[in-house]
Structure 1
Amino acid sequence: MEKGGGFPLVAVGISNDRSSQNALKWAIDNLIAKGQTLILLHVNTHGSGSQQHAPTRDYKGAEEPHMKELFLPFRCFCTRKDINCKDVVIEDHDVAKAIVEFVSQAAIEKLVVGAPSHHGLMRFRGSDISTNISKGAPDFCTVYVVSKGKVLSVRNSVRAAPALSPLRLQIQNQVNIRADPVNHQHELEAKGGTTPKALRLHDESIKSPFTRGIHGKSYPDYSQTETDISFVSSGRPSIDRAFLPKLSNHSKDHEHGFEQGQTAVRFIEPYYHGNEFSTNSGDNSTSSWSSQNMDDVEAEMKRLRLELKQTMEMYNTACKEALMAKQKALDLDRWKKEEEHKLEEARLAEESALALVEREKAKCKAAMEAAQAQQKIAELEAQKRRNAEMQAHKEAEEKKSAIKTFVTSFRYRRYTIEEIEVATKHFAESLKIGEGGYGPVYRCYLDHTPVAIKVLRPDAAHGRTQFQQEIEVLSSIRHPHMVLLLGACPEYGCLVYEYMANGSLEDRLFRRRNTPPIPWQHRFRIAAEIATGLLFLHQNKPEPLVHRDLKPANILLDQNYVSKIGDVGLARLIPPSVANSVTQYRMTSAAGTFHYIDPEYQQTGMLGVKSDIYSLGIMMLQIITAKPAMGLARYARGAMENGTFLDLLDPAVTDWPADETMKFAEIALQCAELLRKDRPDLATEVLPELNRLRSFGEEDMQYRRLKVSIQDTMGDTHIQQNG
């Protein structure tokens, strides 16, 4: 119970929505103690006093029936929580302004407003009422905006509220009345029997007819009531508490709420109408019953009937809620059954998954066993390979001296450095025709013969080894499609070759120095010549030779576009036992040009005669496309699958034979397979097809020459006849 004037004044804004109920519940749970008084504040925007101004505004209670109906559920809730409440109705069109003015005048210290979940904070008119209230409220008032039981925003006060206000005095007097009603009545009589205006915001108390004993019956004393005439907030027992226990005896079934309501009406009406009220006049005291108060009694009876109707409506609503609760219980049972069914399905799925896992484990175990078996087989194969390599190494050591004797016994022309300096004019830049892998190349004359002299650079790291290797290889072999080594000056690292007038195949394919394009007939022939020279190296006796650096830059062309393989400095001899049985030989490090190196040789170091076949395939693709080697095989395969390979051909040649060129490309792609086992054999598959294509090109060229000769002859005959 409040004592003194130190309690805070708390007000809650209410309306016909659930947000107001949430706001009231939050305020009672967090701001109000039992026995304290709570102000229920409502703005009526349809009243007659909506245009009044703040200085003359009259704040009243819930007097009209629809206002009482609005306040009834809130007052009932407060009564159940043992909270006193006071109704305040403000008539104004501007909701926020009206509330702010009331808070300022009544010195409200805490204001709670509800915010609905959709379409604004409160269902008053206006889209941002709560914001306007928070901004406009006086600085001594803390404003809480509540939604769904939670605080959305708080505008805290910055100073204390005025100690005195009419509303605080009225509430304090009501507290005193409830505490000592007799002394308070005497005080009022001593002061003239009137109640101060400050205590009558909306208190129009009437004397109840039930304070008198009629026909020997006694009823509770209802004379002392609060300013509001609602059952819930007054000192009288509420209608629902007085009569609902009687209603519960009529039927146990909550589905017959309406019939019970009718029974309650029939039960209550005699309570009001069956009593005879005395018409004897008494003194002028306000507690006596007289004929002049009959109108008040009738008004009281009407109010009681209206409140009874509202109570029964609330009871019917409770019945409906009970039905809904029952339906929710049924739904909950159904949901539980569904969840149990889902759990059963999940259990079955888990068992199935476990069974699947067991099967997968068995498969994995079998796969691991198979892998272990394969690993053992691979180890055995590796051991066999190591044995073969050791045997090959032994044979190589045995024949090493024989090879050296064979090479050194072969006589090649030895030139002195003075002869080479005179021929090259002391290595003049004007005679320089190129730059090799390990030194420049000069064109000059020796023994009245045009030659190309390759000079080893002193700073070449591996040049000396390649230089010696090239002398050994070229001085020991002779073939029409291998570059001819005329002599050497080994002391100064000079090699003397026959001069090839048309330079390298790479320069001619890319038409450097604006040279004319190579006809397709020559291209077919050049490919066949390169394959012939390569086969000669692979069939070398006593041991096969692998070139390891086959590319267009190492193919030289003479004045008639006859091709010869050069730059054999990286060539390697393979022991016959390895070449015939294992077909590959392990090298400590891969050598050659990146885009032409056999992928298996590059990754594993295993060298074989088919390592040159991969380089030949890439070079054949360049011969017909005149495109760089990087990614060429992949692009060519994609174009072949899409049927657009003819678009990759060198556009400088306009008369490509489509069918024969496609066959040329197919054999080139077979040679450029990534795995050695997928590449064709040079002697039995590649060279026969290239020789056929070369014959096709030579026949076409002869036909063209014959055709031109016939045309020239016919032209000369025609000229003679006209002459």
Structure 2
Amino acid sequence: MGDGALIVAVAIKGNNSKTKGVVRWALQQFASQEHVVFKLLHVQPRDSHSVSSTRSNSNTTTVYKKDVDRKTREMLIPSRDMFAHREVELDIMVLESDDVADAISKAVQDHGISELVIGASSSIIFSWKLKRSNLSSRITDVTPRFCTVHVISKGKLLNVRKSDVDIETSIADERSESQFSSSSHSGSVNSTSSHQFSSAPLLFQRIQALSTVNQKVGTKMGTKKDIDTHHNRAASLDVDDTKMLNQKGFYRTNSSGIGYGGGSEIHSRRSSLTDEGSSSSCYSDPTSSSSQVNKDFELEKLKIELRHIKGMYAVAQSEVMDASKKMQDLNQRRSEEATRLKNLTIREEDAEEVVEMERERQEEAENEAELVRECVEREIEDRLEAEARAEDVRKEKQRLEDALEGGPLQRQQYMKFEWEEIVEATSSFSDELKIGMGGYGSVYRCNLHHTTVAVKVLHSDKSSLTKQFHQELEILSKIRHPHLLLLLGACPERGSLIYEYMHNGSLEERLMKRRPNADAPQPPLRWFERFRIAWEIASALYFLHTNEPRPIVHRDLKPANILLDRNNVSKIGDVGLSKMVNLDPSHASTVFNETGPVGTFFYIDPEYQRTGVVTPESDIYAFGIILLQLVTARSAMGLAHSVEKALRDQTGKFTEILDKTAGDWPVKEAKEMVMLGLRCSEMRKRERPDLGKEILPILERLKEVAYNARNMFAETLNDRHHHAPSHFYCPITKDVMENPCVAADGYTYEKRAIKEWLQKNHKSPVTDLPFPNDSLLPNHSLLSAIKEWRSHLIK
């Protein structure tokens, strides 16, 4: 910004038509001037969120601040584009203050702003001078006096508060004009004649000229008496004329000096006085000199008349030229208006044709919509009939199966424990055995039936959690999956659940290193283990979402609810908030919560949080956040935004967000997992990938990459020098299993070996009892344990 530049500030409040009017007026008024700089002022309230930031995480304040700055920039874009269109220099100043007037006044003082343009509501136009409590008047009052303030309403100037410089300039102009008028009347007759003829009105020039001629005539007279008489008449004329001039319309103004009115009366009086003086001169001096004086007087009188006529002709000619120019402008405007009217008529006709076409199209669309609605109704009726028939068939099939098998199957597939057993095993719920505590109750580690288990006991005063208890009991007693926490038993009378014990705690504790009470320090999870865990979680979710007859949505998926066994095999637990939903669009497949969405903040689906509608895509959102945490080992708050920012950066910041404790990440595969996590955590559920068609294939490929990398060095070692646990060996082949499967007798065998056994024998090789059936189930947990054991050989 150079010295001497005109600084114009435009204060705006928001993005609306009033703001555009203020900006448009400022550009029209000042943009055409040279050396002008515009400043766009916007005052936003101080961040009230920062008051509570001392008690919360600083990242929350940062995210909130960035969100406010983003909204402010978006609001200023239209005004900024208007300045950019005029190609003027612009500075945008966003001020933070609770007092708008004080903030603008300080900005004017600090930056030396010469012109300030502000907006005013149209409702205060008539009360501008009556009520001075509105914001515009307050800004006008507190703005420094060296700045001129323009108040704009509806794109027009409502009020101007001039600066001290403008006021002093105006006073100086008025004084100079007053001095000029005074000097014009106080000069000599000759100087008055020569100066006043160029600026004063023609009638006044004529009166002055007549006075001059009368003085000349008095000078040439012979006797003193005549001279005195003539001077007395001239003085009388001047005095009377002066009075008449003051009474008949002469006035002084600041701009043009002297105006006039009623000149005919003054002229007639001056003529009569002149004729009277001339006759008296003739009678007093009969000589030839008197005749010569009369001729000179008449000649001078004619010259004055001629000068007056020329002036009137010039004025008339100027008026004619102005009138002609106005006529040409009017004709041009009339031609333009006629052309515009013609164009409007053509556009109106075109619009009527378009409206008619749209009306016809609307009628056709309504007819088609009616036909489609009828078809849909018929299809719904047919589908309902088909569903009713299918339900009848299912019930009949179930009845036949129950009749063949001797009655309905036992629904509760879990072991019941007595309350006294649980109290004794936990040493009356000793604090030394407590391994977890939450709003639902406490978790204890103990031994029941010679097995280490985890017992979850609800609080005695938490009767509202009974529904969650029965929900978790009902779901876990009916389904089994290698990566779902295994329910061993329950004590329904006291609200207690018994699970298998997970030695390595939760995934959150391992990622965030928050397990100080562990039996031994645990090494961080390596990157290939995290790829495997991601696949295990996805496979368990797919099992829940494809459950029959209705899918199961977990609704509280987070690292704290993903547990790890001694071999870091992951299992999803805490399904107390799970919900069975109906995905049939003809049924009410949505669940609306009376107390708001359930779950954990930062993992709740935004669409579910906004609408209360729970769908399987709600778990996909939480799974996406977990994928990002597996790669970064960071908190979930604002994680998606920071990861996406690092991913877009071209200076290598992506590798900085990777958890260094996981080892040397393969950058390509890590980036692929991060991009998958960002897609899963999209705000809208329809933009998230499908779990079975997109997510699982990608994670399956990443798991194979991790498996190959882990076994790359294990192949060079001699496994025979290391003794594996006994349950890793197949009872048939006596070797460590490669593909373990669980047979109908409850024992695990090598898949190839047990298939060959079943082809020749129908009894168990361990119990020597007949197999109930030939079904084989993959033992993923044991397979993961075997792979983990082999991975330790490379240490």
The TM-score, its normalising length taken from structure 2, stands at 0.50
- Radius of gyration: which is bigger? 1
1:489 shift after superposition: 1.4
Report if aligned partners of 1:529, 1:563 keep a CA contact under 8 Å in 2: yes
Partner residue of 2:669?
660
Instruction: Give the conservation status (yes or no) of the 8 Å contact 2:590–2:614.
Output: yes
Are the equivalent residues in 2 in contact too, given 1:445–1:451 (CA < 8 A)? Answer: yes
Of 619, 623, 639 in structure 2, the residue corresponding to residue 616 of structure 1 is 623
Q: 1:608 to 1:513 in 2, by over 3 A?
A: closer
Q: Aligned partners of 2:710, 2:570: CA distance in 1, in Å?
A: 18
Determine the structure 2 residue equivalent to 1:73.
Answer: 202
The residue number in structure 1 matching 2:533 is 526
| TM alignment of 1:183-332, pairs within 5 A | 233-235=270-272, 288-290=283-285, 294=289, 301-332=295-326
Q: Distance in 2 between matches of 1:571 and 1:552?
A: 16
Counterpart residue identity of residue 300, structure 2 = L
- Indicate yes or no: 2:358 matched with 1:354: no
Deviation at 1:488?
A: 1.4
Report the equivalent of 1:686: 695
Contact 2:551 2:580 (8 Å CA) reproduced: yes
- 2:253 is aligned to 115
CA gap of 1:458–1:72, structure 2 versus 1, over 3 A, is closer
2:488 aligned residue = 486
1:343 paired residue number: 337
1:455 counterpart SS class: strand
Measured after TM superposition, the shift of residue 389 of structure 1 is 8.3
Pick aligned residue for 1:456 from 455, 458, 478? 458
- C-alpha separation between the residues in 2 aligned to 1:658 and 1:419? 52
Are 2:562 and 1:549 equivalent residues in the alignment?
no
Deviation at 1:381, TM superposition (A): 5.3
Residues 329 and 682 (structure 1), Cα distance of their counterparts in 2 relative to 1, 3 Å cut:
closer
CA deviation string 1:565-624 (max 9, x = no partner): 11122334467xx67x98994435465446545566667776655554444333223322
How far 1:493 moved relative to its partner? 0.6
Tell me the TM-score normalised to structure 1 length: 0.54
Q: Over residues 232-288 of structure 1, what are the superposed CA-to-partner deviations in whole Å (9 max), with x where a residue is unaligned?
A: 7241689xxxxxxxxxxxxxxxxxxxxxxxxxxxxxxxxx9xxxx9xxxxxxx9873
Match of 1:571 among 560, 573, 578: 578
CA shift at 1:632, angstroms? 5.0
Is the contact made by 1:545 and 1:573 (CA closer than 8 Å) also made in structure 2? yes
Is the CA contact 1:76–1:232 (under 8 Å) kept in the aligned structure 2?
no
How far does residue 479 in structure 1 lie from its aligned partner after superposition? 2.6
Q: How does 1:69-218 map to 2 (within 5 A)?
A: 69=197, 73-75=202-204, 114-117=252-255
User: How far 1:526 moved relative to its partner?
Assistant: 0.4
In structure 2, what is the Cα distance between the partners aligned to 1:701 and 1:583?
48
Could you tell me which runs of 5 or more consecutive residues in structure 2 were left unpaired when the two chains were aligned: 1-173, 209-213, 216-238, 517-521, 720-795
Alignment check: 8 A CA contact 2:440 2:458 kept: yes
Q: Distance in 2 between matches of 1:309 and 1:482?
A: 122
Paired residue for 1:698?
707
**Is the CA contact (8 Å cut-off) linking 1:455 and 1:493 kept in structure 2?**
yes
Please say if residues 443 and 451 of structure 1, whose CA atoms lie closer than 8 Å, have aligned partners that are also in contact.
yes
CA distance in 2, matches of 1:68, 1:467: 110
Q: Are the equivalent residues in 1 in contact too, given 2:504–2:568 (CA < 8 A)?
A: yes
Q: Is the 8 A contact 1:601 1:611 kept in 2?
A: yes
Residue number in structure 2 paired with 1:417: 419
Q: Bigger shift: 514-523 or 310-319?
A: 514-523
Q: Which runs of 5+ in 1 are unaligned?
A: 1-18, 24-40, 49-60, 80-85, 88-101, 124-145, 150-225, 239-271, 278-284, 711-723
- Corresponding residue pairs, total: 487
Structure 1 position 63, deviation (Å): 9.9
Structure 1's 468 and 649: CA in aligned 2 closer, same or farther, altered over 3 A?
same
Provide the residue aligned with 2:137 in structure 1: none
Question: How far is 1:492 from its partner?
Answer: 1.1
Per-residue CA deviations over 1:606-649 (Å, capped at 9, x if unaligned) read 66555544443332233223345466556655665666655554
Structure 1 residue 375, shift from structure 2 partner: 8.2
Does 1:587 pair with 2:591? yes
Aligned residues: CA RMSD: 5.3
AA partner of residue 347 (structure 2): A
Which one-letter code corresponds to 2:312 in the other structure?
A: A
Change in CA separation of 1:64 and 1:552 when aligned onto 2, cut-off 3 Å: closer
Question: Does the residue aligned with 1:233 lie in a helix, a strand or coil?
Answer: helix
Report the CA distance between 1:697 and its aligned residue: 1.6
Query: In structure 2, what is the Cα distance between the partners aligned to 1:298 and 1:69?
Result: 26
Distance 2:625 2:324 in 1: 79
User: What does the per-residue CA deviation read over 1:365-405, in whole Å, with 9 as the maximum and x for residues that have no partner?
Assistant: 43586478558747965896798689589959969x99999
Q: 1:234 to 1:443 in 2, by over 3 A?
A: farther
Partners in 2 of 1:372 and 1:603 — Cα distance? 36
Letter in 2 for 1:115: T
C-alpha distance in structure 1 between counterparts of 2:381 and 2:599, whole Å: 25
Is the deviation greater in 665-674 or in 367-376? 367-376
Contact 1:116 1:147 in 2 (8 A): no
- Identity rate, percent: 35
Q: Which moved further from structure 2: 350-359 or 62-71?
A: 62-71
CA contact (8 A) 1:614 1:671 kept: yes
Decide whether aligned partners of structure 1 residues 322 and 73 sit closer, same or farther in structure 2, where only a CA change above 3 A counts.
closer
How far does residue 231 in structure 1 lie from its aligned partner after superposition? 7.8
TM-superposed deviation, 1:304: 4.3
Report the Cα distance in structure 1 between the residues aligned to 2:246 and 2:429, rounded to whole angstroms: 109
Matched, 1:334 2:343: no
SS state at 2:557 partner:
coil
**Conservation of the 8 A alpha-carbon contact between 1:407 and 1:476:** no
C-alpha deviation, 1:555, in angstroms: 0.9
Is contact 1:69–1:310 with CA below 8 Å preserved after alignment? Answer: no
- Going from structure 1 to structure 2, the CA distance change for 1:343 and 1:481 (only over 3 Å counts) comes to same
Q: Aligned equivalents of 1:684 and 1:370: distance in 2? A: 36
Q: Give the drift of 1:483.
A: 0.8
Closer, same or farther: CA 629–416 of 1 in aligned 2, 3 Å: same
Which residue pairs with 1:561 in the alignment? 568
The answer to whether the 8 A contact 2:425-2:448 is kept is yes
Are the equivalent residues in 1 in contact too, given 2:206–2:308 (CA < 8 A)?
A: no
| 1:471 alignment partner, one of 461, 470, 473 | 473
Alignment partners' CA distance in 2, 1:461 and 1:386: 44
1:484 shift after superposition: 1.5
Asked whether the equivalents of residues 546 and 609 of structure 1 are also in contact (C-alpha less than 8 Å), the reply is yes
Higher mean C-alpha deviation, range 595-604 or range 424-433: 595-604
Tell me which residue corresponds to 2:777: none
- Taking a change above 3 Å as real, the CA distance of residues 584 and 530 of structure 1, as seen in their structure-2 partners, is farther
State the distance in 2 between where 1:236 and 1:355 align: 76
CA deviation vs aligned residue, 1:523-564 (integer Å, no higher than 9, x gap): 101001112222333454566544333322221112332110
Asked if residue 441 in structure 1 is aligned to residue 435 in structure 2, the reply is: no
Q: Secondary structure at the match of 1:491?
A: helix
